[in-house]
Amino acid sequence: MHVEYDSLIKNGTWTLVDLPSSRTVIGCKWVFRVKENPNGSVNKHKSRLVAKGFHQQLGFDYKNTFSPIIKLVAIRLILSLAISHKWSLQQLDVNNVFLYGILEEEVYMSQPLGFVSSNKHQACRLHKAIYGLKHAPRAWFNKLKATFISFKFSSSECDPSPFIYYEKGFVIYILVYEDDIIVTGNNINLIHSLVSQLNFVFSLKDLGDLDYFLGIKIQKTKDGSLILN
């Protein structure tokens, strides 16, 4: 809980303020879970502060909630391209993914249990998204998209989740599903440079070669093909 709380404070997620008379607070709670490895063994114990988004009111403290996610057909297509061209497939994970989204709406949250300040009547004025908010996924995707565009990537017209970089014969494809990212392309040095730039903006975990994505086990065979199950 202390690690999670310190991460939120360091990220500038909120400031403590007196609640305006015209606003209401949404609640929050701690959620605990055990993160497992693909073989079922314990990876780590996690605690997460989650806002009670069901307290939010449409048009009052949130508006749009839709956030694009990668389609399975796009994943299979990019994997097929990588196999055909013998490209490497790298996997990344973004730590505390929703905390990077910038909120446009005015949202107030109660202070988290166990970390209440001396002024118990103050509320957390949220500047960045937090897990549980109805529009947190949308805020994260908007931040991610703006970052990729600044790196000269573009979105597909038929599916906004794949991001494509093409310049001087070099091509990189990035598939995003919330905090899970697949990277492939025809220049490994350019990919490493991109990952370094992303790690400067977001806190990344490099998971190495792709082997497990969205509950799908990905196994590479000796002839270079992939088996998904």
pLDDT tens-digit map of 156-193: 777 777 888 888 889 999 988 887 888 999 988 888 88
Mean pLDDT of 103-126: 90
Specify the pLDDT at position 29.
Answer: 94
Residues 6+ apart with CB under 8 A from 99: 7, 8, 11, 13, 128, 129, 130
Distance, in Å, from the CA atom of 195 to the CA atom of 111, rounded to the nearest integer, reads 35
Specify the pLDDT at position 67.
Answer: 76
pTM: 0.77
> What percentage of the chain reaches a pLDDT higher than 90?
17
Residue 22 token pair: 């015209």
The pLDDT of residue 143 is above 80: yes
CB 173 within 8 A of CB 184: yes
State which of 25-29, 41-45, 213-217 shows the largest mean pLDDT: 25-29
The pLDDT of residue 123 is above 90: yes
Specify the pLDDT at position 101.
Answer: 83
Distance, in Å, from the CA atom of 116 to the CA atom of 131, rounded to the nearest integer, reads 19
For residue 198, name the pLDDT band (cuts at 50, 70, 90).
Answer: confident
Distance, in Å, from the CA atom of 146 to the CA atom of 155, rounded to the nearest integer, reads 11
- Mean pLDDT of the residues in the chain: 86
The pLDDT of residue 73 is above 90: no
Q: Which domain holds residue 95?
A: 2-228
Beta bridge partners of 46: 33
Q: State the first-to-last Cα distance of the chain, in angstroms, to the nearest integer.
A: 35
Mean pLDDT of 20-45: 87
How many folded domains does the chain comprise? 1
Residues 6+ apart with CB under 8 A from 163: 145, 148, 153, 154, 155, 173, 174, 176
Cite the DSSP H helix spans in 11-133: 72-85
The pLDDT of residue 41 is above 80: yes
Specify the pLDDT at position 17.
Answer: 92
Of 79, 97, 100, 96, the C-alpha closest to 88 is 79
Mean pLDDT of 136-160: 84
Specify the pLDDT at position 115.
Answer: 93
Distance, in Å, from the CA atom of 194 to the CA atom of 201, rounded to the nearest integer, reads 11
For residue 49, name the pLDDT band (cuts at 50, 70, 90).
Answer: very high
For residue 56, name the pLDDT band (cuts at 50, 70, 90).
Answer: confident
Of 101, 139, 116, 143, the C-alpha closest to 25 is 116
Distance, in Å, from the CA atom of 109 to the CA atom of 165, rounded to the nearest integer, reads 39
The pLDDT of residue 61 is above 80: no
CA distances in angstroms from 58 to 39, 54, 62, 131, listed in the order given:
42, 10, 5, 17
Specify the pLDDT at position 126.
Answer: 92
Residues in the chain: 229
Of 188, 92, 104, the C-alpha closest to 138 is 104
